[in-house]
Amino acid sequence: MQKSLSRLCASLLVALPVALAHFSVHALASDRNQPMNIEANNLRHDDGKQETVFSGKVLVTKGSIVLRGETLTVRQAAGGQQRGTIQGSKNERAFFSQKRDTPKGAPAETVEGQAQTIEYNSATDEVRLVNQAQLRRYRGGSLNDQITGSVIVYNNRTGFFSVDGQQQQGGRVRAIIGASPEADGTSPARLQSSPAIQSGQ
């Protein structure tokens, strides 16, 4: 059980924040080699269903990676693929953050994301931030880029993402794109949307 549980959670915790934060620059490489720590009020594992549920003020850390939520559910499907869901509480959205690898001498960068639900599917390498979704990139401690919508879907294989507006009538997608830091000679990768968004479809 312990080996199965560790394998399920480790696969999710490596892939999820890397995929979510891939829209800026490369993830902090050293995070992959750091120990993973999970804290929660309760843990339930069903080896038959290949499902593990952490509940109650869940906190996950792995190097610079931080994940918080009310529940974390990890399921393993046929073929060894994983599906993970981090659920927020009534008063607080699920949260993740991770530091980024930056060029020598460049300001430090951190990516943060929040949503009521954060889902990851390892089969498609796709991440969904659902309900009050938001992605932010901080550079040198200041907000540089921000995207807000009802649903943000990111595909780590293609590098494209899509954003849906708020579900209520008149909902809009909102984005803040920071200026390129040309003065210090560093140019982190910019946000790139899917072709459908670019063409206005």
Give the DSSP per-residue string, 76-124.
E-GGG-EEEEEE--SSS-EEEEEEB---TTSPPEEEEEEESEEEEETTT
How deeply is 43 buried, as exposed, middle or buried, from its count of CB atoms within 10 A (0-12, 13-18, 19+)?
Answer: middle
Report the pLDDT value the prediction gives residue 48, as an integer from 0 to 100. Answer: 87
How deeply is 194 buried, as exposed, middle or buried, from its count of CB atoms within 10 A (0-12, 13-18, 19+)?
Answer: middle
Secondary structure of residue 65 in the 3-state scheme: strand
Secondary structure of residue 135 in the 3-state scheme: strand
Asked if pLDDT for residue 5 goes beyond 60, the answer is: no
Amino acid identity of residue 23, one-letter, is F
Q: How confident is the model at residue 16 (pLDDT cuts 50, 70, 90)?
A: low
170 or 66, greater pLDDT: 66
Q: How far apart are CA 22 and CA 187, in angstroms?
A: 15
Tell me the percentage of the chain whose pLDDT exceeds 90: 19
Residue 167, Cα to own-chain centre: how many angstroms? 21
- Give the domains, in start order, of the chain with CATH numbers: 2-198 (2.60.450.10)
119-164 pLDDT, tens digit each: 888 778 787 889 999 988 888 889 888 888 899 887 766 767 788 8
59-84 pLDDT, tens digit each: 988 788 888 999 999 888 777 777 88
Structure tokens at 199: 């063409």
Report the pLDDT value the prediction gives residue 41, as an integer from 0 to 100. Answer: 97
CB of 110 closer than 8 Å to CB of 31? no
Report the pLDDT value the prediction gives residue 125, as an integer from 0 to 100. Answer: 73
Q: How confident is the model at residue 198 (pLDDT cuts 50, 70, 90)?
A: very low
